[in-house]
Structure 1
Amino acid sequence: MSDENKHHATAAALLPLVGGAGNVTSVAHCMTRLRLGLRDRSLVQDERLRALPAVLGVVEDDTYQIVLGPGTVARVTPEFEALVETERAGTARAAADHGTGPVTAEGLAAQGAAFRAERRTRNATPFKLFLRRIADIFVPLIPALIGCGIIAGLNGLLVNLHWLPALTPALTAIASGFMALITVFVGHNTAKEFGGTPVLGGAVASIVVYAGVADVEAFGRHLSPGQGGVLGALGAAWLGVHVEKWCRRRVPEAVDVLVTPTLTVLVAGLATLFGLMFLAGEVSAWIGDAADWLLTHGGAGAGFLLGGLFLPLVMLGLHQALIPIHTTLIEGAGFTVLLPVLAMAGAGQVGAAIAIHLRLPHNTSVRATIKSALWPGFLGVGEPLIYGVSLPLGRPFVTACAGGAFGGAFVGLFNQLGTAVGSTAIGPSGWALFPLLDGNHGLGRTVAVYAGGLAVGYAAGFLATYFFGFTKTMLGELDAAPDAPAALRQPAPADPVTEKV
C-alpha cells in the first residue's frame, strides 16, 4: 500500500471510531497529535481506537488528542478533514431529498434549502469548486474587514468634523492594523484550504509585507513592501502547499519535522520574492484600473449589467470569483466600487417580494415567508427571499434581476459623472452597507447616491414583478387557495426561466 493510501486508510478507520462526522466539531493537529473537538465524548470507541496500528496513544484535554507521531499526523489530518466534509455533504443531501409535508412557511424554507443543495451539487464542476475554495479563504476574514471598515468610516467622520483629535490616531491604528497584515491571514487560510499547514502558509505570505523586501531586486526593479497584496499572498501560500505536499511524499518521517517546513518556506519564499510579488503587483494594478475604467466609461450600462446579472451569478456560484477582486480594490484604493453596484440586486429582490405579497393576497404560505424574510432582505440578507419565494416561482426571479439592473444603472451613472461610491469592506449590502460607504466626494453625497440606487432598485423590482412577474395561469394557480401546494411543490417546471438561472 502506498503512503498516500495508508494515511487515507488511517483517517477512514479513525472517523467512525470517534462518532462520525456529525460528532466532530473541529479538526487540527500539532507536531504529533490529531486534535478533535467532539460533541459527545461517549460516542468514542476508545478500546478499538487505541488498537489501531497507527495510533500511538490518546490524550484527553480540552480536545480529544490522538497521537499519531511526527510526519504521520501532518499527512493523516487533511485526509481526515476531507472525509468529514464528504460525510457531512452526503448527510445534508439525504435530508433534503426526504423532505415532505404540506406547503407552509417552514415548508417553503425547507424546499428552498433542498433546491439550493441540488443546485450546489449540480454546479460542482472543477472550476466552480475551485472558486468555492477561493471564497472559503476570504469569507473567514469578512468579520474583521467589516469591523475595521466601520471603525475607519467613523474615524474619517471624526477627522472631517475635527472632533476628538486625540482619539483619531488611535482609531487609525486600530482600523489599519488588520489591513496591514491581511496577507498573512490570506496565506494562513490558503494553506488550510488546500491541505497544507496553515502557519507555513502564513509564514510564506508574511514575506509580502516585510519591510526588508525593499532591498530585493526583481525584474530590474526593487520590490515594495505589500507589492502584490492578497493575490501575491494567495499565490505564495498555494505554492507553499505544493512544496509541502511534495516533501511529505518524499522526506522520511523521522526528519520530516525539520526538513519539510524549511524547504517549504525557502522554496516558496524565493519564488515569491523573485516572481510572484512582481506578477501579482501587476495584476492588482490592472484590476484597479479595470474597475475604474469600467464604471467611469461604462457608467449606467455597466451598472445595469452588473446589477442585473449578480443574482444569476450567485445561483451559478460564479460570484465567488469577485471576493479577491473586492479585497484587492479595498487594499489598493481603500474601497471597492463594485460592491455598491452589486448590492442593488438585493434591492430588486426586496421590491419583487413586496409585489408578490400584494399580488397573492390569498396565498398565506408565500405571504408568511415574505413577512419573515423581508426585513433581513432590507439588511442585505437575500437568501430567504431568493430560495423561499422568487426562485421557486420562476418569473419573479427574473423581474427581481430587472430591479437590480436599474438600481445598478443609477449608481453606475453617478460613477460615470465623477462620484465614486465604494465600500470599505465586503459582506453586507442593503441598509447594512451604509456604515461602510466611502467615496471621492464626501460621505453625504456618497450616502445620497447609494440610497437613491436602493430606491430605484426597490421601485423597479416592484413594478417589474407586479406587472410582468405572473401570467394569468400562474395567478390562478397560486392565488386560488390558501396553500397553493401544486405550484410551489414543483417550482415552475415548464417555465424555462428557472432552468436558465
Structure 2
Amino acid sequence: MSEDNKHHATAAAILPLVGGAENVASVAHCMTRLRLGLHDRSLVREDQLTALPAVLGIVEDDTYQIVLGPGTVARVTPEFEALVEAERAGTAPAPAAPDAGADPVTAETLAAQGAALRAERKAKNATPFKLFLRRIANIFVPLIPALIGCGIIAGLNGLLVNLQWLPGVTPALAAIASGFMALIAVFVGHNTAKEFGGTPILGGAVASVIVYAGVANVEAFGRDLSPGQGGVLGALGAAWLGVHVEKWCRRRVPEALDVLVTPTVTVLVAGLATLFGLMFLAGEVSTWIGDAADWLLAHGGGGAGFLLGGLFLPLVMLGLHQALIPIHTTLIEGAGFTVLLPILAMAGAGQVGAALAIHLRLPRNTSVRTTIKSALWPGLLGVGEPLIYGVSLPLGRPFVTACAGGAFGGAFVGLFNQLGTEVGSTAIGPSGWALFPLLDGNHGLGQTVAVYAVGLLVGYIAGFLTTYWFGFTKAMLMELNAAPDAPADGQQPAPTTRVTERV
C-alpha cells in the first residue's frame, strides 16, 4: 500500500469511529495529535478506535485528541478533512471498516488503571485557570511548524557563516529564517482573536502595530518605542483587548453601520492602548522573563534543572506543557535561543530509559513489551505520549521513576548553564534526538551539542536504573509477569495485545 493510500485508509477508519462527519465540529492537528471538536463524544467507539494500528493513544481534553505521531498526523489530517467534507456533501464512498485483523486491545488491568487515572485527571483539570492556559497554548500550537522550519534554517545558516562557506547564500538564508520571527506578533494576534471569539484579521491588524517600523517615532512613559517591543506578549494582549472592543461594538453599533464602525473602533482603540501602554508593559515583562531565566540558571542551574526536568512529564500528562510556548518564544526573541527547552527535553530521556527497564523487567508480558517496541523510536525523537499513555502512567510507579530520570538529565544540563555553558534551542517543538539541529549556545556548536548529548545519556541511564530498581514492587512483578506467552493445554492462544490506554 502506498503512503498516500495508507494515510487515506487511516482517516477513513477513524471517521466512522468518532461518529461520522456530522459529529465533527472542527479539525486541527499539532505535532503528534489529530484534534477534533465533537458534538457528542458518546458516539465515539473508543475501544475500536484505540485498536487501530495507527492510533497510539487518546487524550480527552477540550478537544478529542487522537495521538498518531509526528509526520503521520500532518498527512492524515488533510485526508480526514477531505472525507468529512465529502461525507457532508454526500459524495463520500462508504468508509472503510476497521481492519478486523487489527491487534485487539486487551491487557485489562492496565486499561482499567489508565481509565481511572484519566477520569481523575479530567475532573481535576477542568479549572478556569487550566482551561485558560490551554487556550493560550491553542494560540501558539499552529505556529510550531514555522518555528521549527525557521529555527533549523537559522542553525544551518549559523554553521555556514562560522565555516565561511557559501557567502553568497547565507544572507538569503538569514532573511528566510528571520522573516517569520520578525512578523510573529501578527500571527499571534490573528490566532488570539480567533481563539477568543473575535475577527482574526482584526487581531492581526492590531498586533501588527508592534512590528511597524514607524513606532520608533512614538513616545510612551517618557521613552521612544522600538519596533517589536513587547513581542508576542504584547501581541497577545493587544489582540485580546481588540476582541473585547469588537464585541462591545457588535452589541451597540446599528447593523447598518457595523461594517464601518466596528473595525475602525476596534483597531483604533486597541491600537492606541497598545502603543501607549501594552508595548511598554509587555516589553518590561519580556525583559524580566529573560533576566529571570538567566539568573535562575546562573545561580542554581543544577537544582533548577533537576526540578524542571523532573516536573515536565506531569505537565505533558496534563496537557499544560504547551502553555510554556510564550515563555520559550519570548526567550528566543530576546537571546536568539531558549535555554529552558533543552533542560525540559531531558524528561523524554528519562521516559525512554524507564521504558527500556520495563521491557527488561517484564520478560513474559508480551503486551507491554510490544507497545514499548513500537513507541520507543518516537520516544527517542521526543514524542513521549505513546510511552506515557500506553506504558508508564498506567503502571504508576514507573512514571515516577521516569520523572526521576528526567530530573537527573535536567540537573546535568542545568549545571553546565550554571558553569557558563549555555545550551539553548533556536526554536520550540522537538526534543530528544530531533532537537540536535536546533541547538545553539554561547560556546560554539560542538560544546553545545556535547553537553546536550551527555545530558540525554544521563537521562537514559538514570531513568533506566531508577525504574529497574524502584519501579516495581514484588507484587507488581508477579502480577505483570504471571501469564506465560504460551497457552495452557486445551486453551485458546491469548490474543496479541497492544497497550494504548491513555490517561
Normalising to structure 2: TM-score of the pair? 0.77
Classify 1:88/1:121 alpha carbon distance in 2 versus 1 (closer, same or farther; 3 Å).
farther
Which of 332, 357, 360 matches 1:358?
A: 360
Which of 192, 200, 206 matches 1:190?
A: 192
1:402 aligns with 2:354: no
Aligned-partner residue type, residue 418 of structure 2 = Q
1:387 aligns with 2:397: no
Which secondary structure state, in structure 2, belongs to the residue aligned with residue 195 of structure 1?
Answer: coil
- Aligned-residue identity in percent: 84
1:233 aligns with 2:185: no
CA distance in 1, matches of 2:349, 2:341: 13
The C-alpha deviation readout for 1:178-199, integer Å capped at 9, x for no partner, is 0000000000000000000000
Q: Which has the larger radius of gyration?
A: 1
Contact kept in structure 1, 2:26 and 2:38, CA below 8 Å: no
Aligned-partner residue type, residue 250 of structure 2 = R
The C-alpha deviation readout for 1:52-74, integer Å capped at 9, x for no partner, is xxxxxxxxxxxxxxxxxxxxxxx
Aligned-partner residue type, residue 234 of structure 1 = L
CA drift at 1:317: 3.7
Classify 1:110/1:196 alpha carbon distance in 2 versus 1 (closer, same or farther; 3 Å).
farther
CA distance in 2, matches of 1:110, 1:199: 46
Which of 290, 307, 310 matches 1:308?
A: 310
CA drift at 1:254: 1.6
Give the structure 1 partner of residue 245 of structure 2: 243
- Name the Cα RMSD after superposition: 2.9
Which secondary structure state, in structure 2, belongs to the residue aligned with residue 85 of structure 1?
Answer: strand
CA distance in 1, matches of 2:250, 2:475: 63
1:157 aligns with 2:162: no
CA distance in 2, matches of 1:106, 1:289: 50
1:476 aligns with 2:428: no
Which consecutive aligned stretches of 4+ in structure 1 deviate over 4 angstroms post-superposition?
23-26, 88-92, 96-118, 482-485
Which secondary structure state, in structure 2, belongs to the residue aligned with residue 336 of structure 1?
Answer: coil
Which secondary structure state, in structure 1, belongs to the residue aligned with residue 440 of structure 2?
Answer: strand
Give the structure 1 partner of residue 6 of structure 2: none
CA drift at 1:107: 11
Deviates more, 1:189-198 or 1:305-314: 305-314
Unaligned runs of 5+ in 2: 1-19, 29-35, 52-102, 486-493
CA drift at 1:125: 1.0
Give the structure 2 partner of residue 87 of structure 1: 39
1:166 aligns with 2:118: no
CA distance in 2, matches of 1:315, 1:144: 25
The C-alpha deviation readout for 1:272-328, integer Å capped at 9, x for no partner, is 000000000000000000001111111111100100011112223442331100010
CA drift at 1:216: 0.7
Deviates more, 1:113-122 or 1:410-419: 113-122
Contact kept in structure 2, 1:353 and 1:462, CA below 8 Å: yes
Q: How does 1:209-220 map to 2 (within 5 A)?
A: 209-220=211-222
Q: Higher relative CO (CA 8 A, sep ≥ 6), structure 1 or 2?
A: 2
The C-alpha deviation readout for 1:369-428, integer Å capped at 9, x for no partner, is 000000000000000000000000000000000000000000001000100000011110
Q: How does 1:400-439 map to 2 (within 5 A)?
A: 400-439=402-441
Which secondary structure state, in structure 1, belongs to the residue aligned with residue 229 of structure 2?
Answer: coil
Aligned-partner residue type, residue 87 of structure 1 = H
CA distance in 2, matches of 1:317, 1:262: 38
Q: How does 1:319-358 map to 2 (within 5 A)?
A: 319-358=321-360
Which secondary structure state, in structure 2, belongs to the residue aligned with residue 254 of structure 1?
Answer: helix
1:297 aligns with 2:249: no
Aligned-partner residue type, residue 364 of structure 1 = T
CA distance in 1, matches of 2:27, 2:348: 33
Q: How does 1:3-402 map to 2 (within 5 A)?
A: 20-22=22-24, 85=37, 87=39, 91=43, 95=46, 103-104=105-106, 116=118, 119-120=121-122, 122-402=124-404
Deviates more, 1:275-284 or 1:99-108: 99-108
CA drift at 1:249: 1.1
Classify 1:98/1:23 alpha carbon distance in 2 versus 1 (closer, same or farther; 3 Å).
closer
- Size of the aligned set, in residue pairs, is 416
Aligned-partner residue type, residue 258 of structure 1 = L
Aligned-partner residue type, residue 138 of structure 1 = F
CA drift at 1:114: 8.8
CA distance in 1, matches of 2:25, 2:197: 22
CA distance in 1, matches of 2:458, 2:257: 64
Aligned-partner residue type, residue 244 of structure 1 = E
Which of 441, 444, 448 matches 1:442?
A: 444
CA distance in 1, matches of 2:305, 2:329: 20
Contact kept in structure 2, 1:113 and 1:387, CA below 8 Å: no
Contact kept in structure 1, 2:141 and 2:322, CA below 8 Å: no
CA drift at 1:252: 1.4
Aligned-partner residue type, residue 39 of structure 2 = E
